[in-house]
Amino acid sequence: MTWFKTLAETYDVYSDQAGIEKNGQAVLLPISHSTFNAQIEVAIDLDGNFKGAKKLEKGNDVVTIIPVTEDSASRSSGIAPHPLCDKLCYVAGDYSAYTGDDKEKYFEAYMEQLKEWAQSEYTHPFVQAICRYIEKKTLIHDLVADCVLMPDEDGRLTDQMKIHSQGQTGANVRFVIRGDYMPQEVWKNQELYRKYSAYYRQKLGEKNLCYATGRLEACSDKHPSKIRNTADKAKLLSGNDESGFTYRGRFLSKNEAALVGYDTSQKAHNALRWLIQKQGYTRDESAIVCWMANRDMAVPDITRDSVNAYEGIDDLDDLDFDNLVFEESLGTHRDTDKYFAEQFNNAVKGYAGKIRADDKVAIIALDAATTGRLSVVYYDEMGGRQYMDAILNWQEHCRWSRRIWVGKFQDEKKKIRCDCTPSPRDMALAAYGVQRSEWLEADSKLIRATIKRLLPCITRKGVRIPPDLIRAAAQRASMPQTMSSAVWYNDVLCVVCAMIRYEYEKGEKTMNRFLNDKTGDRNVLFGRLLAVYDYMEQRALFEKDENGKVKEMRATNARRYWNAYSRRPAATAATIKGNLMAYERKLKDYELKMFDSWTGEIMSYLAECEYSNNALSENYLPGYYLQMEEMKKAFHKKEE
């Protein structure tokens, strides 16, 4: 259980931030605390007198930190009250009178627990005030009088009236203390957190050996949920399946299978929940997070492209993502791609220089095993410098020029073109995605499984991208007619070229010399020939009017025959060439001369290779892309 111990240690590193909200970010929960979404806020004074109430609007402000017990944190049925803030059936002594439901035992259990805390040495004036008010058994009466709850004609509360899509009889209640000072929000009081944590800790039972830390601790067999989000009921540790043979047959009791200290469990779960909410990837029912385990320092997000992976890292020197994008969108730099790359690379080098030799980085990936269970599908930890070396190697060699969003600007017009490494999800979509709207979509299980396979490629230097994944992406790129031109080019072709580059660049080989080094590779040469035929038709077909708009837009012959070309290149090349004869007459003399020069060069190389109908490997795709870029630059230079 190395991952569990590391998470508990991470909590200790950040323990000074427990319960503190900063700039609307996720809050690291104190020990023995959880959260719920409150629907009603009740204000009282220190003498326990009702001062008003209100229904809460939907939003981040409804998330409320509450003290919990082991039983209440994991309750699904039965009577298990939270110690302070809870549902109406627990905190309202007049609940049965207004609903007709016999919930007296719920209220009695809540009051007994609350009084015990209020009368202990760990009490707090706010706890005593709430206890005085609740004892009056007038909560629902006060809420009805204040028009917060709405009874029917018979004076009964029903669930036909909703609060946040929740029936009003099941509303969660929290408290505010009013006095001569500003209202005190009970769920944000740091002293109250510490008082309850100390109070509950001394109530725990005997100590046993904690399997995670190897220390003697008061242990627990009930562990928190809400790991991926506040509505998540799945648990990482659970041993309540005594009839399903989860542990029976190998152990006599669940304690023999796994026994974890209460404090350790609280720290590990709270740290994991906080990390996921603050900087984790939560999509497709999975959660992935990478963090610095030994000190407060942000690390690159390996689930994003290589540029956005550094967004939000304060340790990047003099790099303002939003301003860079803004400047690019306004065209304030002639070569924005180069400008952005220089600024970004300098900032990353400065950040990498701050990594210490004793730093420890951890990566964990969670997946939904069943409805109520989470599984750890990937875990790794390594030295900080080892991690950065692997990340920089991945970002240096698995990259390609494409258009991406950077910073807070999520506007198509404010995308920038830059050399960047695609995210693992981009790679999964390039291999298995289908365009149904504006974007590529794929089965969530397939996406999760593919991302899991790619994680070691990123975090462990030298691990190659699975060949079947590259082949699948190459097959998708060979079907440009099945998706829009922009999606095919940016989200499939550029992504698969980046993956091929990572496999190609070993030792002294670089993609900068790919065309020159591959003059004997028929796959690359056929890819280059396809680019010549494609661009030749584009130049002839896409005539522009006086306003600079293209008169006619349609797929070229190269795009229409692309899939057949990848399987039978020689025969299909002859077909495409024959269909181009009508377009050649539309080209200018200098254009024909340049295309004839490229075609002649490629055909002379092919004559020395195997000019056959054998299917092409994925290497024809970077051959196509690089030849196309070379031709565009040549024409641009000629026309200038």
Render pLDDT for 343-387 as a digit per residue (tens, 0 to 9). 778 888 888 888 988 999 999 999 887 777 888 999 999 999 999
359 is a domain residue: yes
On the question of pLDDT at 421 being above 70, the answer is yes
Count CB-CB contacts under 10 A for residue 309.
22
**491 in the same domain as 631:** no
Q: How many domains does the chain have?
A: 3
**Is the same domain home to 342 and 438?**
yes
Phi, psi of 603 (to 5 degrees): -65, -30
pLDDT of 28 over the 90 cut: yes
Cβ atoms of 395 and 308 within 8 Å: the answer is: no
Q: Is the same domain home to 471 and 600?
A: no
CB 259 within 8 A of CB 210: yes
Is residue 403 located within the same domain as residue 539?
A: no
Residue 238 lies in a domain: no
> Where would I find the H helices in 283-383?
321-330, 336-352
pLDDT at 330: 41
The answer to whether residue 338 sits within a structural domain is: yes
CB atoms near residue 573 (< 10 Å): 21
Burial class (CB in 10 A: 0-12, 13-18, 19+), 526: buried
DSSP string spanning 416-447?
A: EEEEEPPPHHHHHHHHH-EESSSSEE--HHHH
Q: Given this model, what pLDDT does residue 413 score?
A: 46
Q: How many helices (H) and strands (E) does the chain have?
A: 26, 20
Least confident of 96-100, 335-339, 344-348, 371-375: 335-339
Residue 132 placed within a domain: yes
Percent of the chain past pLDDT 90, that is, above it, reads 55
162 and 40 share one domain: yes
Amino acid 175: pLDDT: 96
Q: How far apart are CA 263 and CA 270, in angstroms?
A: 10
As a whole number, mean pLDDT of residues 20-47 equals: 90
My answer on whether 324 and 366 are in the same domain is yes
Which pLDDT band holds residue 555 (cuts at 50, 70, 90)?
confident
6 domain residue, yes or no: no
pLDDT per position as a tens digit, 497-508: 999 999 998 878
Mean pLDDT score across all residues of the chain: 87
Residue 580: phi and psi, rounded to 5, are: -85, -10
Residue 230 pLDDT class (50, 70, 90 cuts): confident
Q: Contact at 8 Å (CB) between 562 and 551?
A: no
Region 11-40 average pLDDT: 89
Name residue, tokens 């922009």: 486
Write down which residue in 476, 509, 542 finishes a domain: 509
With a cut of 70, say whether residue 251 has pLDDT above it.
Answer: no
> How far is it, in rounded angstroms, from Cα 559 to Cα 573?
12
Query: Quick count: other Cβ atoms within 10 Å of Cβ 314?
Result: 8
Give the span between the Cα atoms of 576 and 579, in whole angstroms: 5
User: 452 in a domain, yes or no?
Assistant: yes
Quickly state the pLDDT bin for 441 (edges 50, 70, 90).
Answer: very high
Q: Are residues 536 and 577 in the same domain?
A: yes
Domain final position from 185, 201, 217: 201
> Which comes out higher in pLDDT, residue 58 or 592?
592
For residues 528 and 484, membership in a common domain is answered with no
259-269 pLDDT, tens digit per residue, is 888 999 999 99
Instruction: Kindly state whether residues 456 and 590 are assigned to the same domain.
Output: no
- C-alpha Rg value of the chain to the nearest Å: 32
- Higher per-residue confidence, 287 vs 225: 287
Instruction: Tell me the average pLDDT across 529-553.
Output: 77
Q: What is the pLDDT of residue 283?
A: 85
Domain boundary among 490, 509, 528: 509
Cα–Cα distance measured from residue 252 to residue 272, given in angstroms and rounded to the nearest whole number = 30
Which pLDDT band, with edges at 50, 70 and 90, does 337 fall under?
low
Task: Indicate whether 338 and 463 sit together in one domain.
Answer: yes
Q: How confident is the model at residue 315 (pLDDT cuts 50, 70, 90)?
A: low
Instruction: Check residues 227 and 46 and name the one with the higher pLDDT.
Output: 46
Q: Which residues constitute the domain of residue 298?
A: 294-509
Are 56 and 115 members of one domain? yes
* Residue 629 lies inside a defined structural domain of this protein: yes
CA atoms of 494 and 476, how far apart (whole Å): 12
pLDDT tens string 129-144: 999 999 999 999 999 9
Q: Are residues 107 and 162 in the same domain?
A: yes
Decide if pLDDT at 320 tops 80: no
- In the predicted model, what is the mean pLDDT of residues 25-30? 89
What's the average model confidence in pLDDT over 478-491?
Answer: 94
pLDDT of residue 552: 61
> Tell me, what's the pLDDT at 219?
85
d(CA 528, CA 510): 18
Residue 240, domain member (yes or no):
no
Is the pLDDT score of 9 beyond 70? yes
Cβ neighbours of 12 (radius 10 Å): 11
The average pLDDT across 525-546 equals 86
